[in-house]
Structure 1
Amino acid sequence: MALFTLGINHHTAPLSVREQVAFQAERVRHALHDLTRCKPVEEAAILSTCNRTEVYLATDAPDSAAHWLAEYHSLPHHELAPYLYTHPEREAVRHVFRVACGLDSMVLGEPQILGQMKEAARFAEEAGTLGTTLHKLFQHSFAVAKEVRSTTAIGANVVSMAAAAVRMAERIFDRLSDQRVLFIGAGEMIELCARHFAAQHPKQIVVANRTTERGLALAQRFDGTAIRLEDLADRLAQFDIVVSCTASPLPILGLGLVERAIRARRHRPMFMVDLAVPRDIEIEVGEMDDVFLYTIDDLALIVESGLESRQAAVLSAEAIITERVDVFLRWLATRGSVPLIRALRDSCERARRHELEHAMKLVARGEEPLRVLEQLSHRLTNKFLHAPTQALSQAADGHDELHALVARLFHLHGEASRND
């Protein structure tokens, strides 16, 4: 089985395509079971974020996995294929390492992706699809990310989507301290956004979440309150800033709901940020005159702060990654030799046991122990060397290559050159 990375990301596909192949967290385990059951895939893990959906595979048939990805999301393969990339072994390992380090992120060097990769590994482990190869790949990825972040400036002045959202809001409103902010969802991205907006001391912070207890726990950290998602229709008009990032497969805020809120606000502007994939806010909302709607792709265009310092660190990070890719591939190569090594050891062990039993019988018959030991050592030496010496004697084609290989295996380079 070979190692492959298959997927789409913000480099290859627009948001409208990415959201069609996103995996909700609660569906990842089912998807992994479906993939490994229906296709010739030995190991699999799925990473699904706002910016990418990637499948990490140990398989000899990556094309079948590509067809599965389209079929699972009820898409014609020919429509998805132009946006897909498939990286084989070395390129796959390099790609995974770059993703873990934030080098392939929309915001260069952003740290959230590492936590998302750890979650992907955990899901695969719980689903029983994280075998030895992918387990080792993830562990190496985490180690490389730690090394890059601690030895380069790739994480310096990191500008997150949350910081970009605050920056855009400041362009709409004179003072964020006068605004009321609504967060829809209670996940990691919403928590990060809440932290950035709370630093501007808005007039009010409210969290709307499907699970009220979780929403309240997040809101209280920022001196806010919580409401139910069902209350959005009645409360939406109260808020100047709305940031949404849920795992809902369908939009939470439709055009009609927002239109009613804008009328109730007497057309005072509303700033909205949709960080969800699939989108939480219907795309038509962005066409309204009094609504400023931004998606994650829009925010990427204004993420510029600290870019130069992070770009300067890329060369150092890439050098580390290249070195670590070679280390991982060497480990991967040894995996292919394991059956041969096991067979070699078993053969030698059988020979050892046979000769030991023969020697013990001689001692039992009264033979001199030192003489038996001497005989034992000669017999073992002859048995272990019989195959390689016979191969050398009978070799015709490829004699030089075989000669060099035996010299390397038995560390005979010095002796061989003296006998030439």
Structure 2
Amino acid sequence: MQVSHSKEIANFHIVGINYKKTDAAIRGLYAINPAQYQQLLEHARTVQLDDLFVLSTCNRTEVYGFAASPGQFIDLLCEQTKGDRDQLLEIAYTKSGEEAIRHLYQVGTGLDSQILGDYEIIGQIRNAAKFAKSEGSLGSFLERLVNSVLQVSKLIKTETGLSAGTVSVAFAAVRMMERKVPDIKDKKIVLLGVGKIGRNTTKNMIEYLGVKEVTLINRTLQVAEDFAVQHGLKYAPYENMVPEIQQADVLLVASNAPQPTVLVDHLRNTSPKVVIDLSIPFNVEAAVGDLEHVSLINVDELSKVQDETLQNRMGEVPKAIAIIDEHMEEFLYWYKMRKHAVVLKAVKDKLHEIHMREIQQQKNGATYKQEDMEQVSGRIIQKMINLMAGKVRKETEKSDLYISMINDIFETGVNQE
């Protein structure tokens, strides 16, 4: 099927929402899970979109790629999520061309993160692009751009202090527990969902709070058991979730399910507790926050937990931007040279075509003489001049520019002043 847009930079777009303009509840409407991601890429190909990837985290959902217009990405997101198109048009940001490229650099290096310098985002970009490539939906431009962003992210981490110190959603959860739960070492803690965020939060609790009374629950029991054994913790089967969370003093939810797994009925008649929902979309029913004996905290509230580390990171921003500028310039130079290479090859092919046609005509004469070969060369040269002259005559407004370029390319030595 013919693609309706070219792979020019002007047709490279990003459409997305993030924490700056939308709360976690709205972001949850447009979050893309792995199954939806695959379906989105499959649907994209049916509407002639074959070079894109989707970044969906707790703080943002963004589509990067080539399209005739950003509106096509709006349609893709609404096709696969519970979100409303009119709402998305109001809240989404769109960027195109070099502005979109710079945005990916800023996202990948943590400059656009809810917690400045968040280094986890680069792994999420890597995985998102890798999945798109495995589905045949990542072209050479996007792959090279992502690789450049990965390189820049690594450089900024090693050459600046932008990601120095311990600041992340997982760490913010620990700081929040420290403030909200007196005598945390003596409390019963339950973690629902032993994915990356859940594991990181648990490690931080052990290291910074010295807790030991932690019970892990996961849909796949083996995952919970392996992590529990490794860190000397308890674990319980998913079927025991309700009684376990009812007995907890602190409940951490990182189950990453498409809908709430902890319901208000689960906690209606229980002891007082702090519930921290680390999931997007929310995995704790909103009504839980209305229970007087429950303090419900979500990822947006966690982002407000500040640390002196963040102030130090702010001072590193100019250094990070300078590194981005340098490598973005290198990427754009590669892109322009690639375009030139394509043009030069096309010119070479055109000249070869003229050459072969003239040679074939000469072969029809049966005999070859030196003067015949000179005539062939003369005709080839004249046809090249005719092609250039024809273009100059046709594009009268650009004729001076074309002649100047030809003069420079062939280094004629003619002074046009």
TM-score by length of structure 2 reads 0.87
Q: 1:59 aligns with which of 54, 59, 67?
A: 67
Q: Aligned residue for 1:409?
A: 409
For residues 377 and 231 of structure 1, do their structure 2 counterparts lie closer, same or farther at Cα, with a shift above 3 Å needed?
same
For residues 386 and 64 of structure 1, do their structure 2 counterparts lie closer, same or farther at Cα, with a shift above 3 Å needed?
closer
Q: Aligned residue for 2:328?
A: 325
Q: Aligned residue for 2:244?
A: 235
Measured in 2, the distance between the counterparts of 1:148 and 1:210 equals 37
AA partner of residue 315 (structure 1):
P
The count of corresponding residues between Structure 1 and Structure 2 is 407
User: Structure 1: any 5+ residue segments left out of the alignment?
Assistant: 263-268
2:213 maps to 1:219: no
Note the 1:18-417 alignment, pairs <5 A.
Answer: 18-37=27-46, 39-199=47-207, 200-262=209-271, 269-334=272-337, 336=339, 340-351=343-354, 387-388=387-388, 398-412=398-412, 415-417=413-415
Between 235-244 and 15-24, report the one with greater CA deviation.
Answer: 235-244
For residues 395 and 94 of structure 1, do their structure 2 counterparts lie closer, same or farther at Cα, with a shift above 3 Å needed?
closer
AA partner of residue 168 (structure 2):
S
AA partner of residue 286 (structure 1):
G
SS in 2 for 1:260: coil
Q: Alpha-carbon deviation of 1:394?
A: 9.9
Q: CA RMSD in A?
A: 3.0
Q: Alpha-carbon deviation of 1:173?
A: 2.9
1:224-280 deviations in whole A, cap 9, x for unaligned? 132222211122233222211122112111111112332xxxxxx422210101111
AA partner of residue 125 (structure 1):
K
Measured in 1, the distance between the counterparts of 2:397 and 2:44 equals 46
1:92-112 deviations in whole A, cap 9, x for unaligned? 111111110011111100111
SS in 2 for 1:276: coil
AA partner of residue 225 (structure 2):
L
Q: Alpha-carbon deviation of 1:213?
A: 0.8
Q: Alpha-carbon deviation of 1:189?
A: 0.8
For residues 304 and 81 of structure 1, do their structure 2 counterparts lie closer, same or farther at Cα, with a shift above 3 Å needed?
farther
Measured in 1, the distance between the counterparts of 2:35 and 2:274 equals 30
SS in 2 for 1:243: strand
AA partner of residue 329 (structure 1):
L
Is the 2:190–2:244 Cα contact (8 Å) retained in structure 1? no
For residues 87 and 177 of structure 1, do their structure 2 counterparts lie closer, same or farther at Cα, with a shift above 3 Å needed?
same
Is the 2:246–2:266 Cα contact (8 Å) retained in structure 1? no
TM-score by length of structure 1 reads 0.86
Measured in 1, the distance between the counterparts of 2:131 and 2:147 equals 15
Is the 2:31–2:281 Cα contact (8 Å) retained in structure 1? yes
AA partner of residue 314 (structure 1):
V
For residues 181 and 345 of structure 1, do their structure 2 counterparts lie closer, same or farther at Cα, with a shift above 3 Å needed?
same
Q: Alpha-carbon deviation of 1:126?
A: 2.0
SS in 1 for 2:162: coil
Q: Alpha-carbon deviation of 1:326?
A: 3.1
Measured in 1, the distance between the counterparts of 2:75 and 2:378 equals 60
Measured in 2, the distance between the counterparts of 1:132 and 1:126 equals 13
Measured in 1, the distance between the counterparts of 2:16 and 2:168 equals 23
For residues 391 and 24 of structure 1, do their structure 2 counterparts lie closer, same or farther at Cα, with a shift above 3 Å needed?
closer
Is the 1:179–1:241 Cα contact (8 Å) retained in structure 2? yes
Q: Aligned residue for 2:8?
A: none
SS in 2 for 1:321: helix
